[in-house]
Structure 1
Amino acid sequence: MKQFFLTMLGVFAGLVAFFIILPVAALLFFAAAAGASKPTTPAHTVLELDLREGLTDQAPTNPFAAFGGSGLSVVGVVDTLAQAEKDSNVKVLLIRAPEGGMNPAAADELRQAIARFRASGKTVIAHSQGFMPVGAVVSSYMVAAGADQLWMQNTASFQATGLSTDSVFLGRAFQKYGVKPEFEQRYEYKNAVNEYTQSDFTPAHREAMTAWMTSIYDSALAQIARDRKTTPEALKAVIEAGPYSADQALSLKLVDKIGQVEEAEKAAKDKAGKDAKIVSFGDYAALQGARTGSGKSAIAIVGGEGAIMTGRGGVSPFGSGSDIRSDDTAKAIYQAIEDKDVKAIVFRVSSPGGSPEASEQILAAVRAAKAAGKPVVVSMGAYAASGGYWISSEANWIVAQPTTLTGSIGVFGGKFVLADALGRFGVDMRGLSVGGDYSDVFSPSHGFDQGQRAAFAASMDRTYEEFVARVSTGRKLPVERVREIAKGRVWTGAQAKGLGLVDELGGLTEAVAKARKLANIPSSESVRFKRYPTPQSPWEALATAFGASGEAAQVLVKVGRVMGDPAAEAMLQQVQTERLRSRGAVVMADQPGL
């Protein structure tokens, strides 16, 4: 009994520490940081960008997301490099290249930002501990090759000889163990279904994947050849004859110098000047903050990354996952519409797809922006496929990287029938239903009957035709032409531009430039940037996690109020209002109106 109470006391202490002490400590830290005098960048700064930990496409709005493992984002790096270009204290950029592959579209955008940094008259040095044949390693090499100097460690090897990927097909395994996948796909290029039903690539699957992989590979070779001052044909011949040791890579002019990272760091510091200091990219980005710009006119940047789902975002303050919630994203667009200073909207989309209903809700907000006279320019990140293309299709202008994966204009759905599989282990699955025949259409205890199959197939047809119609309207293409290039096929941005699915190749910078033009903002006029959804303050994130009407939230927000945080003041007002509403009060306005 004594041990039981000791255990319970320990559990209680742990809960108190996690849910009260840790959040309060975090809030105190943020408040102290906000109140402290802003440090300055050293006079001779070497900015170190470490790409070995991976990148998200966009920075999270949750201030505690870093605790969940989130690191740098592509949009954040581009934004920070744009500020570093104009910072006279920043002299050199030092890049730590990843050994494995990078997302190709992210690599494209980083390379473009690095090129702009170099064009401002500053130096870029990259260091590699090898390029391994994992993922899109040619994209990693492309980023490193864009530097003024590319160093490689003496024991490293250059193995960036191409591009490969693997697919796992479960068809035979499912058949062996009695799992029956029953799916409908529209159409043959909607290949996600094949991994459940097949044991190998279908001809259409192989054709589509080979095409977009070749497009990515060719695009990377072209950019590397330009930076290494050779031809794509010559570079391809050299690369594909590898792998190579560091010495061989140097002799073939694939790299510029051999040395340890400490030697590359010394070279960067020597270039930066006397008493040069290395500053991590994350520290510098935190010091600078998000670029806001200046001027009367504003451009809204609305972010959306991850799978597209209905509803609102989750409540975990320490979550690092990302998805596009239709209520949140539509609300962000409507907020930009209502802001009189916002003249155009740049919608950054990085999504492999998701719910058609959620996608339509977001697209309706895009239409509303256009109807309000606010042009919408989509900037595609790593992916803007399936639902990601649905929400982009009716924008005024679409910008994609050459290696963005987009299109996939199609739909699939279905279920797994598990009754036979479970029966082999002595588990019997039986279903019951009341109502119409369609009521148990997604039951895993049996396959589709004839009527269910017909009705489900009809729903797939409707969704597909709705998707085609939106693309036809948005891209001003005949419906029959859209059907020809749709069928669920994935295209790269370069391929999609030739098909009329994309207007321009580039990144966020090009999208902003186009938004300015569509909004008739003179190039000589400065603009402000407003970001949606608005990043949460630490107080708001914790209040959301604890529940707006919770006592814990009220205590935490009061801490912020005492410390003079204006966001805490606003949240306390919300907490008090919600408490009244929860007790049955009718609150006409959160604050007195004029």
Structure 2
Amino acid sequence: MKEFFKYVLATVVGIIAVSAIGFFLFFMAIGILVSSTEKQVSVQDNSMLVINLERQIVDRAPNDPFEDLEIPGFTQIKRIGLDQIQQSLEKAVYDDRIKGVYLKLSMTNGGMGSVEEIRNMLIAFKDSCDKPIYAYGNTYDQKAYYLSTAADNIVVHPMGTLDFRGLGGEMMFFTNMLEKVGVDMQIIRHGKFKAAVEPFMLEKMSEENREQQLTYMGSLWNHMLKGISEKRNISVEELNALADEVQTLKKGDDIVETGLVDAAKYKDEVLDDLREITGIKAGKGVPVVEAGKYASVEVSGKSKPYSRNKMAVIYASGDIGTSMGGEVIIGEKIGREIRKARQDSSYKAIVLRVNSPGGSVFDSEVIWREVKLAAEEKAMVVSFGDVAASGGYYISCPADQIVAHPNTITGSIGIFGMIPEFSELLNEKIGISTDVVETNENSNFLSLTRPMTEYERQMMQQNIEDGYDIFISHVAEGRGMTKEQVDEIGQGRVWSGQNAKEIGLIDEFGGLQDAIEIAAEIAGLENYRTVALPEQLDPFQQMLKAGSDNIRTRYMKNKLGEKYRYLEFLEKASQMNGIYARLPYDLNVN
């Protein structure tokens, strides 16, 4: 028996030792991989700055050690931050090594607000120097084309296409499916435009929802047409006529004839153009540097002097309070960042960058309170990205100023609750019955295995009404309006940034840099430095964060592509708990 325990103990010790060694070797290998990605960026003379907009566009560059690793059998989603593009273009103006900008376009993986922000950056670059911008794509989607019109030359592949047909959006409706499986979604909402719940109660859009979509989508399209018209010298009427004809299936030379692009060229011809721009001899490779890497390069004459005055730029991206592996805004976390900046005397101003369709009312209230307190003590400016709606607007309304793009999606001032009821599925479909014991009349409040009672429904409706009243009260206080005025433009209705400025929901058009400059002006700052918050994880921490859920999310995104949004919508709906202030649907404008 003694020998038995000795061998068992030796085996256990051996397993632990091997596991520890394997664990150590794993992290050592990861460390080698990470360090291999941190090579010094070299910028050659006569280089082109490459902005690859086929990458997923995010507000803030990720500090992800796996971002550019090529792992066999696993396609990585590559991202580029708006901050990287901004920094790169600002430096390229002064850097004699950079001779021009090359836009790599096809399918632009960013929202309308992000596209607008990058386009404005490119226009500002052209206004600051005489270096050319060259856009090339095998194909162009509508957002990519709109962005490309900031370039001096727009070139498409001879067999490439340009999608130009006007904007359209679609919603999925799950009512019939839920009925077939025996699930009833019990809906409580305030606002005739609050259409987040429509996929679970209707088979098609309500007239109110159709009206709001046509209004803001028309605003987005008209803004795009105006920008294209100014840069391409084609009238808005002509552009609409081209869209009505649908240009999507036309090939290179036919697209050139419309005036939408300048030339149709193969890649070798494009490279010849780039050699001419950079002064490189024929047959030689064109030196390039990617914006994501160039952003970290020190450029002589561009560095700002150190300043003790700090401005906090706090990023709030994703659903508020809940997520399915993507970005998420946690009320306590973002609230803490705002509070720390408010209480730190070295921070003279705060800019909150919001890119969110909304979410949990509770988390929204936590952030709203901190924004309100900060606005009472310091310059507090909010910058909207692609979308800042419902809860995203809720957390922003106390700010001194709100800055958005004309094609930002915002508004959606409304609240809803959604309680699934599974009794038919359980009892009739799969044969499961339930029974209840309770000490009080309503101990079994809001059970998922039976329909709501009239008392429960009244309580829920009152809760929604109270929440809506708080929401419009916050907006009225923050925007200097009456509750009646807010209610008139509220009701869950979605607006474009252009519409929002007309009705007083935002103050100025612009991007994050504009918001920073406004905050500096309010605070009376001439010299300052910006500090991005929350602090990003270091590469090792980021690696630990990339657990099974994150890997699963990335895998599903790679496999499903654009259709991933349908899976994401269903999973988010299944996670909802409590009262929500959220955009009426997951918006997909194409």
The TM-score normalised by the length of structure 1 is: 0.81
Q: 1:191 to 1:437 in 2, by over 3 A?
A: farther
Return the letter of the residue paired with 1:357. F
Q: 2: distance between equivalents of 1:269 and 1:431?
A: 78
- 5+ residue gaps, structure 2, are 1-11, 70-75, 548-590
Relative to structure 1, the CA distance from residue 42 to residue 438 in structure 2 (aligned partners, 3 Å threshold; closer, same or farther) is farther
Residue by residue over 1:406-452, the C-alpha shift from the partner in whole angstroms, topping out at 9 and shown as x without a partner, is 11100111211112023343331425363555544442211110110
Q: Tell which has more relative contact order, 1 or 2 (C-alpha 8 A, sep 6+).
A: 2
Deviation at 1:189, TM superposition (A): 0.6
Residue 403 of structure 1 pairs with residue 407 of structure 2: yes
Could you tell me whether the CA contact under 8 Å between 2:55 and 2:109 is conserved in 1? Answer: no
Selected match of 1:502 from 502, 506, 511: 506
**2:318 paired with 1:306:** yes
Give distance in 1, aligned partners of 2:479 and 2:303.
32
Amino acid corresponding to residue 130 of structure 1 in structure 2: T
| 1:362 matched to 2:367 | yes
Indicate the residue corresponding to 2:121 in structure 1: 113
1:366 partner SS: helix
- Aligned-partner SS, 2:159: coil
User: What is the CA deviation profile of residues 352-398 of structure 1, one whole-angstrom value per residue up to 9, with x for unaligned ones?
Assistant: 101111111111111222232x1111010111111100110111100
Return the offset for 1:123: 0.9
User: Which amino acid in structure 2 is aligned with residue 528 of structure 1?
Assistant: R
Q: Is 2:286 the counterpart of 1:283? A: no
How far apart, in 2, do the equivalents of 1:458 and 1:18 lie? 58
- For the structure 1 residues 429 and 396, does the alpha-carbon distance in structure 2 shift closer, same or farther, using more than 3 Å as the test? farther
State the shift of 1:239 in Å: 3.0
SS in structure 2 at match of 1:156: strand
Q: Does 1:245 align with 2:251?
A: yes
CA distance in 2, matches of 1:250, 1:32: 44
**Alignment CA distance shift 1:185-1:239 (3 Å):** same
8 Å CA contact 2:132–2:152 kept in 1: the answer is yes
* Contact map agreement 2:358 2:392 (CA 8 A) in 1: yes
Residue of 76, 85, 98 corresponding to 1:90: 98
The answer as to 2:529 corresponding to 1:528 is yes
TM alignment of 1:343-492, pairs within 5 A? 343-372=348-377, 374-430=378-434, 432=436, 434-492=438-496
Deviations 1:257-301 (A, max 9, x none): 111234223312320233741222233234459987643322211
**Pairing 1:328–2:352 present:** no
- Structure 2 CA distance for partners of 1:510 and 1:157, relative to 1, 3 Å: same
Q: Specify which of 517, 520, 524 is matched with residue 516 of structure 1.
A: 520
Tell me which residue corresponds to 1:55.
57
- What are the superposed Cα offsets for residues 126-176 of structure 1, whole Å, 9 maximum, x if unpaired? 012123xxxxx4322110121100000001122311111221112223233
- The farther-off stretch of 98-107 and 215-224 is 98-107
Q: Residue 265 of structure 1: SS of its match in structure 2?
A: helix
Q: C-alpha distance in 2, partners of 1:391/1:14? A: 51
Between 137-146 and 453-462, the greater mean CA deviation after superposition: 137-146
Amino acid at match of 1:327: E
**450-459 vs 228-237, which deviates more?**
228-237
Counterpart in the other structure of 1:259: 265
* TM-superposed deviation, 1:87: 2.4
Please, which moves more after superposition, 471-480 or 53-62?
A: 53-62
Whether the 8 Å contact between 2:64 and 2:543 is mirrored in structure 1 is no
Any stretches of 5+ residues in structure 1 without a counterpart? 1-7, 132-136, 547-594
Q: Distance in 2 between matches of 1:18 and 1:460?
A: 54
Cα distance between partner residues in 1 of 2:16 and 2:165: 56
Matched, 1:43 2:36: no
What is the match of residue 342 of structure 1?
Answer: 347
Instruction: Tell me if the contact between 1:291 and 1:529 (Cα under 8 Å) persists in the aligned partners.
Output: no
8 Å contact 1:390–1:471 — kept in the other structure? yes
CA 18–368 in structure 1, closer or farther in 2 if over 3 Å, else same: farther
Q: TM-score, normalised by structure 2?
A: 0.81
Give the Cα–Cα distance (whole angstroms) in 2 for the partners of residues 42 and 214 of structure 1: 45
- 1:103 maps to amino acid: G
**How far apart are the structure 2 equivalents of 1:264 and 1:436?**
77
- 1:102, 1:140 within 8 Å by CA — same for their partners in 2? no
Query: Which of 134, 148, 166 lines up with 1:125 in the alignment?
Result: 134
Amino acid at match of 2:229: A
